[in-house]
Amino acid sequence: MQHVFVTGASGFIGSNLVDRLLADGVAVTGWDNLSTGQIRFLDGALQHPKFKLVRGDNLDLPALKAAMQGADFVFHLAANADIRDGWKHPEKDLQQNTIATFNVLEAMRANGVKRIAFSSTGSVYGEALVTPDRPTPETDAFPIQTSLYGASKTAGEGLIAAYAEGAQIDEAYIFRFVSILGERYTHGHVFDFYQQLVAHPDRLRVLGDGTQRKSYLYVQDCIEALLHVTRAHTARDAKHHTQIYNLGTAEYVQVNDSIAAICKALGIAPKLEYTGGNKGWIGDNPFIYLDTAKIRATGWKPKLTIEQGIIATLRWLEANRWVYEARH
């Protein structure tokens, strides 16, 4: 891994990955259309002699092929991750997640790039048909998809595996994430709750009934996992040259637990106003808890607990309230 191509380079995970790769001495080409990412996240990288940012869209295949020249590894992180409002623009998931992934694979084929890491999602499991409270392993059969986002990521996974089986890729790494927390976080429950509590610290509107159980992972632990297995070449000799890893912590929390941690850190006690039901929106999964034994067996383990990740995220948002204006 000497020259890495990162799609979604100005995003939350992408920009943190770019910084880590540069710190490790790796040359990086960042690719982003800046539709949701923040150029400020790349302030440090843009000063680095081994970094180049190319502004472009994954739907522009000729430009993507040209930008990828010279790369030997692709981290494909760019995506539309708007599960909640997916039915307001259903074509976005197809275009930005599935078609975009096909274009990335075609650009790789044109440039002879044989290694890829893909940010998939725990949402591909839908409402996993498992014993209550048992974490979902990578080997579980897929249930019916419950979100356009999950369906589009499932399609992306299938394309990558097919390219690997078709000898177009030597190493394919598919990472099924839980929700990621940490610095440069601009989408999710901590972001939404803090925004509300700044505006009116006396009350908090909560989608669902607060009993939804979720798992989260701190962004630096996520990046460490990505690099840990890709640098160990665990997919090289794997069946079909493809490795699938769940990424998360070996715990979960209720939404109510997360609210309690946030409110304690802020020193407030708002009235909680629940919208009701065990789901926050169509496609929400009331129980997300992934079995991470496979990647833990490689020697990786997260350093931060979920609560520590929540507080780290909150403190970053407090210090960087500009991201709320930048999102609009």
Per the domain annotation, does 90 fall within a domain?
yes
**Shared domain check, 99 and 209:** no
**Shared domain check, 260 and 230:** no
Per-residue pLDDT, 84: 66
- With 0-12 / 13-18 / 19 or more C-beta atoms within 10 angstroms meaning exposed / middle / buried, residue 273 is exposed
Per-residue pLDDT, 314: 97
pLDDT per residue as tens digits for the range 178-227: 999 999 999 889 999 999 999 999 999 999 999 999 999 999 999 999 99
User: Taking a C-beta distance cutoff of 8 angstroms, is the pair 104, 96 a contact?
Assistant: no
What is each CA distance from 314 to 105, 115, 185, 205, in whole angstroms?
36, 35, 9, 18
**Shared domain check, 108 and 12:** yes
- Is 327 in a helix, a strand, or coil? coil
**Shared domain check, 209 and 91:** no
**Shared domain check, 234 and 207:** no
pLDDT per residue as tens digits for the range 75-111: 999 988 766 666 788 888 899 999 999 999 999 999 9
**Shared domain check, 166 and 199:** no
Structure tokens at 212: 């939804």
Q: Is the four-CA dihedral 311, 301, 124, 42 of positive or negative sign? A: positive
Per the domain annotation, does 298 fall within a domain?
no
Host domain of residue 175: 3-180+216-247
Q: What is the CATH number of the domain that holds 311?
A: 3.90.25.10
Judged by phi (left if over 0) then psi (alpha if -120 to 50, else beta), residue 106 lies in alpha
**Shared domain check, 172 and 153:** yes
Per-residue pLDDT, 43: 97
pLDDT per residue as tens digits for the range 141-176: 777 888 888 899 999 999 999 999 999 999 999 999
Per the domain annotation, does 297 fall within a domain?
no
Contacts with 72 (C-beta within 8 Å, 6 or more apart), sequence order: 1, 2, 3, 4, 113, 115
**Shared domain check, 33 and 10:** yes
**Shared domain check, 258 and 238:** no
Structure tokens at 167: 């000898």
pTM: 0.94
Question: CA 133, CA 250: separation in Å to the nearest integer?
Answer: 12
Q: CA geometry: angle at 67 spanning 46 and 37, to 5°?
A: 50
Per the domain annotation, does 295 fall within a domain?
no
Per the domain annotation, does 299 fall within a domain?
no
Residue 139: φ, ψ to 5°: -85, -5
Q: Name the helix (H) or strand (E) containing 266.
A: helix 255-266
Residue 9: pLDDT band with limits 50, 70, 90: very high
Rg (CA), the chain: 19
**Shared domain check, 257 and 226:** no
Instruction: Please give the average per-residue pLDDT across 21-29, as a whole number.
Output: 98
Question: CA 232, CA 68: separation in Å to the nearest integer?
Answer: 23
Give the residue carrying structure tokens 């708007």. Answer: 82
Residue 76: which of 130, 153, 24 has the closest Cα?
153
Per-residue pLDDT, 83: 67
Structural domain total, the chain: 2
Please give the share of the chain, as a percent, with pLDDT higher than 90: 77
pLDDT per residue as tens digits for the range 129-139: 555 678 888 98
Per-residue pLDDT, 297: 97
Instruction: Please give the average per-residue pLDDT across 246-254, as a whole number.
Output: 94
Per the domain annotation, does 169 fall within a domain?
yes
Mean model confidence pLDDT for the chain: 92
**Shared domain check, 224 and 202:** no
Whether 255 shows a pLDDT value over 70: the answer reads: yes
Per the domain annotation, does 314 fall within a domain?
yes
Residue 323: pLDDT band with limits 50, 70, 90: very high
**Shared domain check, 228 and 90:** yes
Question: CA 41, CA 52: separation in Å to the nearest integer?
Answer: 14
CA torsion angle for 18, 22, 27, 28 (degrees, to 10)?
10
Q: What is the CATH number of the domain that holds 71?
A: 3.40.50.720
Per the domain annotation, does 159 fall within a domain?
yes
